Chain A
Amino acid sequence: MDNARKEWLLNTAIALALFAVPLWALLADEPFIITTATRIAILAIAAVGLNIALGLGGMVSFGHALYLGIGGYVAGIAAHHAFSGTTVLGLPGTNQMLPIWAIAMILSGTIAGIVGALSIRTSGIFFIMITLAFAQMGFFFTLSWPAYGGEDGLPIFVRNQFPGLNTARPWEFFLLSYGVLLAALAIFAMLRAARFGAALMAIRQNPDRAAAVGISPFGIKLVAFILSGMITGLAGAMMADLTRFVSPAMMAWTMSGELIVIIILGGVGRLFGPVAGAAILVCFEVLFGGLTEHWKLWLGLVLLAVVLFARGGLIGLLAGRAQHG
């Protein structure tokens, strides 16, 4: 069996498991497990976004929590004004997810465009530091923004709504998150297979060669970075609705690190890498977080083992090297 087929089967198995486990939890009346699966799905969406920049484009953004936070605050602020019946910038608040998502994606895409335009010409440690610096700016800005809770954060009293669903029910909100995850994965797969992806992955491997055939690295990488920020921003809005709470912690550098860890655990640049990685991370937290508060130590050891012995992450370990045809 060739690697591409193995990977396809593995992806299908992961997708089915992520659906079957909460379905079983629904029947067994275990809402906590449904919520846990929802968290995996939303974290995976955020990581799919980062995987475009990091996996396909080789841009190690250490500031993707910024877009997660932007999405989160868009959801929180919109819900806050809808709840209190006040306006923001002359606009009424809303408790509808669709407009919230649209604003979250536009805003995070815009900020990603600015960050990308200033950082993409650099590489290595400089790129990492510039992206980190912007995320820290967002972190400290929200920390000192009393109108929306400052360091205390901002609660969302009632989960925002989606047409045709009762999002307050864990199972229905899971279905929504799962659907968005599948859509994000489809977009990732489509980008990767298209001319855009061919150019982007070529630039990651050899920018001089890409330029010598006439592909300007800057524009392609910038567009990838913007798309990446938009998807992570969307995940932020959903994350806020999951926890019904936004706080500056969403933009903390540890959150950016967590997204990178997810991708490394699952497999950099692999379609289902973010899903596998998010599942590993969240399961670790749930299973060992109850036993010991030092669960991150054990996660660190797993990460070390992956980096040393299984560079391709879980997907690479089980399905072999990626094939580009």
Chain B
Amino acid sequence: MAETVLELRGLSKAFGALKATDNVSLTLKKGEIHALIGPNGAGKSTLMRLVSGKLTPDAGEVWLGGAEITGLSVARRARAGLGRSFQVSSLIPDYSALRNVMLALQARQGHSYRFLMPVMRDRALRESARAILERVGLGPRASVEAAVLSHGERRLLEIAVALALAPRCFLLDEPMAGLGSEGTARLVSFLRELKQEAPILLIEHDMDAVFQLADRISVLVYGRIIASGSTAEIRADPQVRAVYLGEETTA
């Protein structure tokens, strides 16, 4: 049995009477991609915020690499090894692609309370950032400001920033959103490699991509996980077909 990297234990979060997350437990093991799917409004984004630390759960715990991180802030969770990407690209708009990655590297290397040395003269930092951009195929666009990059390039830069954190696990929120079929295909093969480095908790709308990529799938409906298992098991699950896949195919 592979070692568990990320574990959610009985997470719950309510907004008034609405149970956005209802007793969710799941694990992410070394070397796997665990996909989280569910119809719109199922609570995927809320769950993502609970894991990343943006929201505090009403009940339940988040464990990362054998340590509880439930009480930690977003920044401390990131330092503990949670590398997330955002559903809507969230970068530093005035910074070039290179500086966006350098910022992540700088944060990973230690604190940012260094006041003297110019960061752009830090050759080691710059070269590592460039190597990461090359890896995701953004090398030629390194000096372009994030605000000017195309949508697809920003999605890749999101991944590059997460990579720069060298995290224990990735938390990818709809990385394929808005990518064309070619871009999706490239990202699918990239993520398949990436999971060897660190396991991926993947929230994704693109069903084809999910079924190609995921080792395990959990289905979230009304804040609860109604089914969890291998791709084949989820495909065959009558409940899942009824509430989710059925909807998708008839839509």
Contact = CB atoms under 8 A, between A and B. Distances in A.
B114 A194 contact: yes
Contacts of A210: 75, 92, 103, 107
A322 B112 CA distance: 22
B133 interface: no
Nearest to B164: A213
Given A199-B106, A324-B96, A324-B99, A206 B115 contact: no
Given A198-B119, A205-B93, 4 more contacts: A193-B120, A195-B119, A212-B75, A223-B113
B94 A212 contact: no
**Contact size class for B?**
35 or more
B92 A202 contact: yes
- Give me the 8 closest cross-chain CB pairs, A-B, nearest first: A199-B112, A214-B78, A193-B118, A211-B74, A216-B75, A214-B107, A214-B79, A195-B114
Contacts, number: 111
Given A211-B73, A212-B74, A213-B103, A205 B92 contact: yes
Given A211-B75, A213-B165, A196 B113 contact: yes
Contacts of A193: 118-120
A177 B193 CA distance: 60
A208 B73 CA distance: 11
A132 B113 CA distance: 28
21 contacts: A190-B118, A194-B119, A195-B117, A198-B102, A198-B112, A199-B106, A199-B107, A201-B92, A202-B95, A208-B54, A209-B92, A210-B75, A212-B74, A213-B78, A213-B161, A214-B108, A216-B75, A220-B113, A324-B99, A325-B96, A325-B120
At the interface, is chain A mostly helix, strand, loop or mixed?
helix
Interface stretch (B25-33, B83-91, B176-184, B212-220): B83-91
Interface of A: 190-191, 193-199, 201-202, 205-206, 208-217, 219-220, 223, 322, 324-325
B36 interface: no
B5 interface: no
A212 B86 contact: yes
Given A215-B75, A324-B94, A190 B116 contact: yes
